[in-house]
Each structure stands twice: as structure tokens, then as C-alpha cells.
Amino acid sequence: MGGAEFAADPPAHYTWLREHAPLGQVRLDFGAFAQDVWVVSRYADCKALLTDPRLLRSPYGAPPGVEIPEHIRLVSSTLDMKDGDEHRRLRSLVAAPFTPKRIEHLGEQVRVLAERRLDALGGDGDGGPIDLRQDFALPVTYTVIADLVGVGEQDRVRFQQGVTALMSGFSGSREDWEAHVRDLVAVTRDLVARKRTEPGDDLVTGLIEAEEAGDRLDDTELVAMVFSLVTAGYETTYNLITNAAAALLDHPDQLGLLRAAPDDEALWRSAVDEVARYLPPITGTRPATAVEDIEWHGQTVPAGASVLPLLAAANRDPDVFEEPERFDITRSPNPHLGFGHGVHFCLGANLARMEARVALQVLFERHPGLSLAVDRTELALEPMPLWTRFRELPVVLG
């Protein structure tokens, strides 16, 4: 998984896995890094895996006596890599400032940022094609998360470089990846230190002040939690916006429903959830580790093996979704697993949904004639395992 053949038609591979290898072994190819894992692809199995106590999240480890570099320890200490009591403790502290009220308050900020970005791109629509992913979705989403976390203007370039490396994995050289992630750690530590003396209306300040039964996050946990929040609220979101625009342009009947009811918030919310099912940015969670031998579909997953739920395959399981290959923004019910399930349900789900909804509303309000600048067959996904990410989305603002 992750190669060009898979990226050319992921749904066909999902169907084959569900029908012929509901528990199968694949190789995740990250370029400079690869990993052999077991995958489950049926909805019921994926949902069960996400709550199975015999499967724990896999940290980046090292043999006994080998010191793990700080940047690797911090990357592997994010909230989605924790289990049990430690996960419950950290999530309760992190969730305190990450409230629905705070997120909804950001809605107007997202609208203003989207408007300004479209102004900068040539709001009259007379310019040439733009890459919607790089020129609109990414800068809007990055500005929101940088403001939300509290990153100062002087650190934004370094912060974005580090975040991009963190989310892209070893797609280039490992040396470049480690250099950017080390710099991200340094910037984030400086940010935490500054917010201790200069608190503001941002999530880092909220994390510093968060307390439960006398317990607070220490500096290392604060840095790791910033990574968790960035993971939850940045990369996923700008690709969700991009994927949503692509899906709507590819299904003009569904886009027509939204254009006919531009102020129907419930319909826009339903549309974003259908994108999270049909074309989700993240197609599977981080691998979990079997803590004992597990019998599944007549096979034995040995203790110590890595296992992951292929959520994008589960989201097209015909046993759960009627006509799963049909994109339907009115789908109800829609129990998709696009944001996970159970204790590791995405902490940034509400933020991602809100940003995508508002950014798309602004985009299609401002440019009712928005159209692809290339033939649909020319759009290509990046060959990255566990992501549905377009290389680019060329559009004409109309």
C-alpha cells in the first residue's frame, strides 16, 4: 500500500480486501521507511479493533539500553500513541481548552481568512487556474491552527516546515525530516516557555492552565500535546477541504443541492461528513500492537505484530452503507469511521468539520462558477499509505 498502482484506484483495492482478505498482510511504503502490518477492512472488524484491549498503540521504540532521541520520543508521545490510564489522563487535560464553544467561536475567523485568501487570489475570477489545495485550503487551515496554538509571526515559517515534515513522514530523506522535526521541537518549547510568562487566548495557554484533581501537564507533555493538536487540526483539515471540493465538482447534482440551499447548515454538515466517508483524508489509524496472539478470520496475528484498521475500506462496506460507492450528501444515517472510533476518536473532529464547512461555504458563495481546470482523469493522488491526498487540485475561480 502506498504505491502508484494502489493510488490509481483505492476503492477497487478496498473491495478486494473486504471480499478476499478481510485480515491481510500488506507493506506500508513510506519511501525511506516501510512497515509490514496486518490490516482489517470490514466495518465490523475495524470498529472492534479500535476498542480491543488486546491491541495497544505502537510507539516508536528501541531495544533496551538504546537511548531514543528527544524528537523521536516526542513524536511518539502524542495523545494518539497512548493507552489506558495515561491516555485518559492526558485526553481529559487536553480536552479542557479544546471545547466546542471555542471551536465554534473560530467560525467567523475562518470565514474572514477564507475571504481574504480569495481576495488575494483574484476575487473576480478572471485570473488563471490556481491549485485549490496549495493556494487556498492549506494557507487558510495553517493560519487557523497557528493562531489557535498561539504561534507568533516570527516563528510561523519554521513551525510550518516542521509541521509539514511531521505529517509527511519520511517522504524525502530521513536527515531532512529529523532536522525539521528537531526545529519544530525547539520552536514549540520556546512557545511553551513564552506562554508561561505571557499567557494569551490560545490553546497552549489553555493547556498550561488546564488542571484536573491537581494534575497538570509538564513541559514535555505540553510539547507532545501541541503535536497532537496540530496533527488533529491541520493536515487532516486542509486535505478534507480539498477532497470535498473535488468530490462536489465531480458530482454536480450534489453540489447543486448545496447551491440551492446555501444557508442550510445541517446540509453542509452532512456534506462534510459524507466526504469524510467517501473520500477521507486519513484512510487508516496508526498501527496498534497485538499484546497477545489473536485468532481472527481463521488466522493468527502473533503477539508483537502491528495491526491497523483500514477505515476507508470500512466506510464503503455494503453491509453497513447502502450503495456505498455513491456520493450522497443527504446520507442518513452515516456512521462513518472517518474520524476514528472509541477512546482515540479524533480530538480535532469538530474543528476539522467546522473549518471545512465554513471554508467551502465561502468558496462556493464567492465563486458559483468554480470548475476544474483539467480533465478529471488528470487528477492524481499522492502515493502515500493511509492518506487520500491529491497532488494538486487545479481549478478556475468563476
pLDDT value at residue 56: 85
Strand partners, 294: 301
pLDDT value at residue 383: 77
334 domain-assigned: yes
CATH number of domain containing 153: 1.10.630.10
41 domain-assigned: no
Nine cell digits for residue 87: 491516555
SS3 213: coil
Q: How many domains does the chain have?
A: 1
Cis preceding-peptide flag for 69 (omega within 30 of 0): no
12 domain-assigned: no
Strand partners, 55: 290
Per-residue pLDDT of the chain (398 residues; tens, 9 = 90+): 656 677 778 899 999 999 999 999 988 766 555 678 999 999 999 999 999 989 887 544 444 444 556 655 555 555 566 666 666 666 776 676 566 777 777 888 999 999 999 999 985 555 679 999 999 999 999 888 888 888 888 998 888 888 777 766 555 567 777 888 888 889 989 999 999 899 988 888 888 887 655 677 788 888 887 877 776 667 789 999 999 999 999 999 999 999 999 999 999 999 999 999 999 999 988 788 898 999 999 999 999 898 999 999 999 999 999 999 999 999 999 999 999 998 777 877 888 899 999 999 999 999 999 999 999 999 998 877 788 999 999 999 98
Q: Report the side by side order of strands in the sheet with 23-29.
A: 23-29, 34-40, 306-309, 288-290, 55-57
| 238 in Cβ contact with 133 (< 8 Å) | yes
Residue 202 is part of which domain span? 70-284+322-396
Q: For 42-157, list the strands marked E by DSSP.
A: 55-57, 130-131
28 domain-assigned: no
Cell 467551502 found at: 360
**Dist CA 60 CA 3 (whole Å):** 23
347 domain-assigned: yes
SS3 294: strand
| CB-facing half-sphere around the CA of 233: CA atoms within 13 A | 26
**Dist CA 382 CA 380 (whole Å):** 7
48 domain-assigned: no
Phi, psi of 27 (to 5 degrees): -110, 120
Q: How far is CA 226 from CA 61, 74, 168, 169, 201, in A?
A: 21, 10, 17, 17, 15
Q: For the chain, list the strands marked E by DSSP.
A: 23-29, 34-40, 55-57, 130-131, 288-290, 294-296, 299-301, 306-309, 371-372, 394-396
Closest CA to 240 of 355, 80, 371: 355
317 domain-assigned: no
Predicted structure pTM score? 0.88
**DSSP per-residue string spanning 6-20:** HHH-HHHHHHHHHHH
- Angle at Cα 340 formed by Cα 334 and Cα 345, nearest 5°? 115
**Dist CA 32 CA 26 (whole Å):** 17
Nine cell digits for residue 241: 477541504
